[in-house]
Amino acid sequence: MERETVIVIDFGGQYNQLVARRVRECNVYCEIYSYKTGLEQIKAMNPKGIILTGGPNSCYEENSPTYQRELFELGIPVLGLCYGAQLMMHVLGGKVITPEVGEYGKTAVTLDTSSVLFEGLPEKEICWMSHFDRISELAPGFSTVAHTADCPIAAAEDAGKKLYAIQFHPEVLHTEHGKEMLYNFVRNVCGCSGTWRMDSFVENSIAAIREKVGDGKVLCALSGGVDSSVAAVLLSKAVGSQLTCVFVDHGLLRKNEGDEVEAVFGEKGAYDLNFIRVNAQERFYSKLAGVTEPERKRKIIGEEFIRVFEEEAKKIGAVDFLVQGTIYPDVVESGLGGESAVIKSHHNVGGLPDYVDFKEIIEPLRDLFKDEVRKAGLELGLPEHLVFRQPFPGPGLGIRIIGEVTAEKVRIVQDADAIYREEIVAAGLDKTIGQYFAALTNMRSVGVMGDERTYDYAVALRAVNTVDFMTAEAAQIPFDVLQKVMSRVINEVKGVNRVFYDLTSKPPGTIEFE
């Protein structure tokens, strides 16, 4: 059966991934594409619906991102959000202006609940606004279905043509019933049946992998993190002994993590994997010597990973496929899935060298968000302690160390991070915080320890609450817990005399500290 798909056309909005994630919560598969994607390509995808994202531009300016009128004449339901709503009006003959007053943050909106978009919702709603332009005149055929005190056209529709424009952002949690609005669009307007579920994903993925691999040999890049672990077990169930898992200890893992990964996946572990551990710490430290720029570090680590895998593949014999634990945010944030700026690249996507000595790369989790990966892991029978392990980036501590990476800096951040995680667990906070870790800043400052002056590093503690890892806010950790972590780090970790707590949200920051 062909998979039902709703596509998101990205105009540079900061919430593009969040839109796709919310659609998937309605059990409907969703992918993100740039506004530069051609109309014929979109038609070939045969989407059940199209959503246009927000963006930072004014749609009436000459060089602003746009789309041809024919998009709205395909007979496919279209929902425009913020910039997408303004663009829909502008292209179809309405008018968009820059008023004296914009709208930002939580805003009271009055809804016309006779609209299919707002069916079953209260007439008064708190929604998240973020716009300086607004629609001043509707395109022919449209009627207003929502307004605010400052925005006479907060939503509009041409129900006959299944075209809908919403000025606010239903995809963010600040909009009280935003998920229900998107549900109404994808399920009731687009007619999606909602069959995108993890049990069918796992079953279909195993069958597809078996067909693709045939009798070929597969090499899996196993880091021991959630993504690569789920990918490894998925491949194991699909091709069994044709799979070899190579675990590269690049010296940038958390404290004792190499031994812990080997204990789970090695000969004495619970999984029937051909497990090989490669200790390459000095090799990676040598390659990273003198390198300070984060993106360059990511690419060096990524390329060295591939070189190690190639060497192991030659020892094993002919290897046809390389498996990686790439997930959907990796794809989008590496600039491959939408229009928004490249946020990162690493060994899963953006750091691959030009020449890779494998027939093909298999990325079985490429379509999934992080929480979907966890669901797939549970569906595969992985234990909860592994499935809900703290997220860890592919380049490891290489990007949690600001500036040059050295063995001494790795020791510092490993020890500080171990203390931090230990105290978070002791305080019973580990199940309520989305992600937490310690990072090493490149700042050194004067301190006093005993009767001596010190000139040592500052450690930054990071902890965020997040539903989907697309947006995040700093976790409110009790001050006494932070004080205890600070005291232990300064007393137990040689080379540290200050501890900071990072309060930055995402956006504007990233969850990782680099």
* Spatial CA neighbour of 172 closest among 372, 31, 14: 14
Q: Catalytic residue at 169?
A: yes
Ramachandran class of 396: left when φ > 0, alpha when ψ lies in -120 to 50, beta otherwise: left
Give the integer Cα–Cα distance in Å for 106 and 225: 37
Q: Is 10 helix (H, G, I), strand (E, B) or coil?
A: strand
Strand locations in 173-257 (E): 218-221, 243-249
* Spatial CA neighbour of 322 closest among 287, 364, 265: 364
Exposed/middle/buried for 182, CB within 10 Å: 0-12, 13-18, 19+? buried
Q: What angle do CA 307, 312, 313 make, to 5 degrees?
A: 95
Q: Catalytic residue at 4?
A: no
Q: Is 74 helix (H, G, I), strand (E, B) or coil?
A: coil
Neighbours of 306 (CB within 10 A): 21
Ramachandran class of 393: left when φ > 0, alpha when ψ lies in -120 to 50, beta otherwise: beta
Give the integer Cα–Cα distance in Å for 457 and 402: 11
* Spatial CA neighbour of 8 closest among 240, 148, 259, 182: 182
Q: Which residues partner with 438 through β-bridges?
A: 461
Q: Residues 26, 59, 82, 220: which is the catalytic one?
A: 82
Q: Residues 4, 171, 257, 339: which is the catalytic one?
A: 171
54: CB partners within 8 A, 6+ apart: 11, 13, 14, 15, 81, 82, 83, 84, 130, 131, 169
Give the integer Cα–Cα distance in Å for 284 and 10: 37
Pairing verdict, β 155-158 and 163-166: antiparallel
Q: Residues 169, 250, 346, 347: which is the catalytic one?
A: 169
The per-residue b/e assignment along 2-34, b for 16 or more CB within 10 angstroms, e otherwise, is eebbbbbbbbbbbbbbbbbbbbbbbbbbbbbbb
Neighbours of 130 (CB within 10 A): 20
Amino acid at position 483, single letter = Q
Q: Catalytic residue at 82?
A: yes
Return phi, psi of residue 129, to 5°: -105, 145
* Spatial CA neighbour of 434 closest among 412, 478, 466, 472: 466
**Catalytic machinery residues:** 82, 169, 171
